Amino acid sequence: MTTDHHDLTKLFAAGSCADRPVASPYQALRAMTVGGDVRLKALWAFVTLGIPLILKDGPRASDDVAAVCEADRSKMRRFLYAMHAYGLVDRDAAGRYGLTAMGQVLLPGEGSMWAEVGVTMAPLWQEAGERLPETICIGHPAILRDHVAPHALLTRDRQLATLFDMFMNGQSRAVADALADRDYSSVRTLAVAGGGARNVLDTILRAHPHLKGILVERSRVAEQAEHHHAEQEVADPVQVAYADMFSDLCPPADVIILPLVLHNHDDTDSRLLLAHVGDALRKAGPLARLWCIETLLPKPGVCTSAIDLDVRMMTLFADGQERTLEQYQELMRLAGLDIIATEALPADQTLMIAQPAA
């Protein structure tokens, strides 16, 4: 059984959109109410029981897995039967279960999605979703109370904060690999800011050691990054820029990458950030470009993972939102930038390449 790496993301939302032909409205609603919640909790059980690690070295019988987990054999048989249907494991002629490519993505380590499962099942995230009706009524995430973003709440839970950082780095892995495959022969300086920036920068620099890398981050993240980059196999040390891009100037660079940054902010703040980026591009020279990476909302009535992500953003970020390509084009225009090209990236993300307007 062959399963694409990114099908795991689709599994999260498999029951959340009525995007398949159904016999009745009841059937469509049942898929939304049962499928999404059950599949998320099944992923949580799969990871929490350590099944990916148990199957890491090869197929094993269901009863063997149950013995290692100290679980009920009958329930484990039923559970692995379901995991087979979900595409996390396959089953050989002897009835033994082994990890599929999708199941392997849940193994701990670089590029793993196990951290995303843990973050999504964390009480903070669960409560945020449960309070969505209140959020819709009051106009901001009910979970945040006096905070403007969930990051402030993360500082109260060190384990969750660590898991969230791992989640962000893992989320950026496939995109980072795709960016590293691009041509950088005319690029000398590369700046990256925002979600998964460290991972994106490291991946590109390893593939293109002639580049000078600049990591633009908040002070707490930047301090961690200085220690991290000292251990990386890159030819030139990475410059770590302590900057709040809403109030500080962005450092000039031939290419400035913003991975999943703008969707955290409202239009006013996004335009301000983009204006600072535009100033940096003009200082860098006429060939300097912005690479903005976001998940684009589809046209009305079409269901993609971006719809689910936008609802999640509504529950957690006071100003966060997903946008259409047309909305990003307008944001760029108002900030003095023009989108000159777009390219599809892994994990349903899109690369928007922009330059200062003439």
Per-residue model confidence as pLDDT tens for the chain (358 residues): 333 444 555 555 444 444 445 557 766 665 666 667 788 899 999 999 999 999 999 999 999 999 999 999 999 999 999 999 999 999 999 999 999 999 998 998 766 788 888 888 888 889 999 999 999 999 989 988 766 667 777 777 787 888 887 777 777 788 899 999 999 999 999 999 876 788 899 999 999 999 999 998 765 444 454 455 455 554 455 777 766 777 777 889 999 999 999 998 999 999 999 999 999 999 999 999 999 999 999 999 998 889 989 999 999 888 889 999 999 999 999 999 999 999 999 888 999 999 999 8
Beta bridge partners of 343: 351
Same domain, yes or no: 163 and 190: no
Residue 22 lies in a domain: yes
The domain containing residue 312 runs over which residues? 172-356
- Please give the C-alpha separations between residue 2 and each of 91, 136, 140, 170, in angstroms, as whole numbers: 12, 41, 42, 21
Helix 197-207 to helix 219-230 angle, to the nearest 10 degrees?
30
Domain-embedded: residue 275: yes
CA 262 to chain centre: 13
Which is catalytic among the residues 229, 263, 265, 276? Answer: 263
> Would you state the pLDDT for residue 113?
80
Which runs of E-coded beta strand occur in the chain?
89-91, 97-99, 189-193, 212-217, 239-242, 255-259, 289-294, 337-345, 349-356
Please indicate, yes or no, whether residues 150 and 180 belong to a single structural domain of this protein: no
| Residue 121 · residue 22 · CB < 8 Å | no
CA distances (Å), origin 98, targets 90, 103, 311: 5, 9, 34
Catalytic status, residue 263: yes
Question: Nearest 5°: phi and psi at 111?
Answer: 80, 0
Least Cα distance to 184 among 291, 110, 343, 342 occurs for 291
H or E stretch covering 312:
helix 305-316
In a domain, 231, yes or no: yes
- Do 53 and 24 lie in one domain? The reply is yes
134 and 233: one domain? no
304 and 200 in a common domain: yes
Residue at 237 is within a domain: yes
Taking only the tens place, the pLDDT of each residue in 303-340 is 888 998 999 999 988 888 999 999 999 999 999 999 99
Position 161 in a domain: yes
Tokens of 165: 């950082």
Domain closes at, from 145, 167, 189: 167
CA neighbor of 89 nearest in space, from 65, 118, 55: 55
If 0-12 CB within 10 Å is exposed, 13-18 middle and 19+ buried, where does residue 255 land?
buried
282 and 327 belong to one structural domain: yes
Same domain, 45 and 89: yes
Same domain, 97 and 122: no
Interior angle at CA 107, CA 215 and CA 350, nearest 5: 45
Asked whether residue 258 is assigned to any structural domain, the reply reads yes
Do residues 198 and 337 share a domain? yes
Q: Count up the domains in the chain and report the number.
A: 3
Q: Is residue 112 part of a domain?
A: no
Q: Do 195 and 284 belong to one domain?
A: yes
In this structure, are residues 203 and 177 in contact, taking their beta carbons and an 8 Å threshold?
A: yes
CATH number of the domain within which 320 lies: 3.40.50.150
Could you say which of 81, 104, 127 is where a domain stops?
104
Residues 320 and 287 in one domain: yes
Widest Cα–Cα separation across the chain = 68
Strand 255-259 to 349-356 pairing: unpaired
Question: At which of 82, 104, 126 does a domain end?
Answer: 104
The model's pLDDT over 220-251, given as tens digits with 9 standing for 90+, comes to 444 454 455 455 554 455 777 766 777 777 88
DSSP conformational letter for 60: B
pLDDT score of 246? 72
pLDDT at 10: 53
Do 89 and 146 belong together in one domain? no
2 within some domain: no
Look up the CATH number of the domain holding residue 53. 1.10.10.10
The DSSP letter of residue 237 is P
